[in-house]
């Protein structure tokens, strides 16, 4: 009985039943990622007009001989900031006001919104030579240049900064380590010049496209549509109505905030992005958010030991591949010599019992040529707090692709012996122990 407790006959004493993986209903299958293709990143950039169009907060360089500037002096020249692609500007700074007009001496305010520089220069010339007759036509010297283009201040929050560290088992057990990310979040406030105020330029200035630690999407929170008080009131009312339906009914998911735009970066083949060209244009106060995928992990237990492992972002991970990543590999576990022991809740290499049995007795029998663990259970969460248990027969999964379900976030993988495997290993272990006992007795 002592050896039986060491070998951990959990498959017999504490059996687990589940849906065979090759018969799993479609609604419980994970969505594949292998076939997703990146979108054309040029769709994240806005189309620039052939000529710059003026609007509020632009600053023009204006020189009007005899009005803005003396006749016996050269017009002032302003050089742009380092790194700017604008040419030097000539004249005195005149900002375009919030209503799109220019305030110039001796003439009424001129509306220049939507005009090019040459059109604005013609409008100023007309005002001084024809409308007000301050300057003589043909004798005027008027120069209009762009001194500083308008800018849009946006906030970029990124949660894709990560440092890879090694994480041991949840209970400190040896042999259950797995890669884990310590995610960092950083934010920047940036000023984007006109016609460069789009998602692509915002990403380029703050680190590029989302890394592998981030979700394959970009969120844009529109400041013009955000109303925190209305949103909070709506969420509160939504949950109050959901609570009235009774505890046995599943409440629907909360609707998306209309102020949040999701831009996917990978889509199924043939699917066209649904966002419009205007959706990638950023305005003052908009927030660009890149969320981490810290919750996209799966967990292990049983003979695999307790652990937490990140899921790949851009490709699929099936049951056998996951076992190879967190354990000794499919060939090692199915061909003899399952060296990684441990109980269910973080036991070490010599630990026993737990959710998966095994431990010293099972590994000893396996090392002597006994049966390796051949049953993998996947505990998968379902909507409304439910759970489905998927039973993966390792022998069948080696030759049948339909018996290899894809792993999805939140899955728990528990590797165990089948009942017949535990009986065989127990018998081999008993014979081995009896032989050692007789040798020691004879000596």
* pLDDT single digits (tens) 285-309: 999 999 998 889 999 998 888 899 9
**Residue 380: what pLDDT?**
95
Query: Poorest-confidence range of 51-55, 125-129, 256-260, 420-424?
Result: 420-424
Q: Are 269 and 35 in contact (CB under 8 A)?
A: yes
DSSP 281: B
Helix (H) or strand (E) holding 334: helix 330-335
The winner for highest mean pLDDT among 161-175, 224-238, 319-333, 418-432 is 224-238
Chain segment 367-418, per-residue pLDDT in tens: 555 678 889 999 999 887 789 999 999 889 999 999 999 999 999 999 988 8
Predicted confidence at residue 347, as pLDDT, reads 35
CB atoms within 10 A of CB 403: 22
391: three-class secondary structure by DSSP: strand
pLDDT at 280: 96
Tokens of 245: 């339906």
pLDDT of residue 6: 43
pLDDT for 85 equals: 80
Of 359 and 257, the structure prediction assigns the larger pLDDT to 257
pTM of the model: 0.75
pLDDT at 248: 66
Residue 150 DSSP symbol: -
**Per-residue model confidence as pLDDT tens digits over 219-249:** 999 988 877 777 778 777 777 776 666 666 6
- Write down the mean pLDDT value for the chain: 81
Q: How many helices (H) and strands (E) does the chain have?
A: 10, 20
Sole residue written with tokens 């013609």: 122
Structure tokens at 220: 């844009």
Q: What pLDDT is recorded for position 366?
A: 56
Band of the pLDDT at 434, cuts 50, 70, 90?
low
User: What structural domains and CATH numbers belong to the chain?
Assistant: 2-34+295-442 (no CATH), 37-46+152-223+253-290 (no CATH), 59-148 (3.30.1950)
Q: Is the separation of the CB atoms in 187 and 288 below 8 Å?
A: no
Tens of pLDDT, residue by residue over 144-154, are: 999 999 999 99
d(CA 258, CA 218): 15
**How many percent of the chain have pLDDT more than 70?**
78
Q: Band of the pLDDT at 52, cuts 50, 70, 90?
A: very high
pLDDT of res. 352: 35
pLDDT (mean) for 97-103: 95
Class of residue 390 by CB neighbours under 10 A (exposed 0-12, middle 13-18, buried 19+): buried
- C-alpha 376/C-alpha 353 separation (Å) is 17
What is the total residue count of the chain?
A: 443
- Average of per-residue pLDDT across 122-140: 92
**Phi, psi angle pair for 413, to nearest 5°:** -105, 120
**Whole-Å CA distances, 401 to 335, 393, 407:** 19, 12, 14
């Amino acid at each position: 009985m002592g050896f039986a407790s060491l070998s951990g006959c959990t498959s017999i004493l504490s059996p687990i039943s589940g849906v065979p993986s090759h018969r799993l209903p479609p609604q419980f299958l994970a969505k594949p990622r292998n076939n997703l293709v990146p979108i054309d990143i040029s769709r994240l950039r806005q189309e620039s007009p052939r000529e710059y169009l003026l609007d509020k907060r632009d600053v023009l360089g204006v020189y009007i001989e005899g009005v803005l500037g003396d006749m016996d002096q050269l017009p002032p020249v302003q050089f742009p900031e380092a790194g700017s692609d604008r040419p030097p500007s000539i004249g005195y700074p005149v900002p375009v006001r919030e209503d799109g007009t220019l305030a110039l001496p001796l003439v009424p305010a001129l509306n220049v919104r939507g005009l090019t520089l040459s059109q604005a220069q013609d409008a100023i010339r007309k005002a001084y030579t024809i409308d007000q007759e301050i300057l003589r036509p043909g004798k005027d010297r008027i120069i209009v240049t762009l001194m500083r283009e308008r800018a849009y201040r946006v906030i970029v929050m990124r949660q894709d900064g990560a440092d890879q560290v090694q994480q041991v088992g949840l209970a400190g057990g040896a042999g259950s380590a797995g890669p884990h990310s310590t995610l960092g979040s950083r934010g920047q406030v940036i000023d984007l010049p006109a016609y460069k105020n789009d998602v692509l330029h915002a990403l380029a200035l703050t680190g590029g496209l989302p890394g592998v630690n981030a979700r394959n999407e970009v969120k844009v929170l529109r400041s013009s549509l955000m109303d925190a008080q209305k949103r909070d009131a709506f969420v509160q009312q939504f949950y109050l109505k959901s609570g009235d339906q009774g505890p046995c009914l599943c409440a629907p998911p909360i609707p998306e905030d209309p102020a949040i735009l999701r831009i996917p970066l990978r889509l199924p083949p043939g699917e066209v992005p649904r966002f419009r060209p205007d959706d990638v244009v950023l305005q003052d106060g908009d927030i660009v958010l890149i969320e981490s995928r810290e919750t996209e992990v799966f967990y292990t237990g049983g003979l695999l030991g307790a652990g937490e492992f990140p899921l790949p972002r851009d490709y699929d991970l099936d049951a056998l591949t996951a076992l190879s990543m967190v354990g000794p590999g499919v060939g090692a576990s199915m061909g003899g010599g399952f060296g990684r022991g441990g109980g269910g809740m973080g036991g070490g290499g010599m630990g026993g019992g737990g959710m998966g049995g095994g431990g010293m007795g099972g590994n000893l029998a396996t090392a002597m040529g006994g049966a390796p663990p051949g049953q993998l259970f996947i505990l998968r969460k379902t909507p409304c707090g439910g759970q489905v248990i998927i039973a993966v027969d390792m022998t069948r999964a080696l030759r049948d692709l339909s018996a290899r379900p894809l792993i999805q976030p939140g899955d728990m993988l528990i590797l165990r012996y089948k009942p017949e495997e535990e009986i065989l290993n127990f018998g081999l272990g008993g014979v081995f122990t009896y032989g050692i006992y007789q040798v020691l007795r004879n000596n």
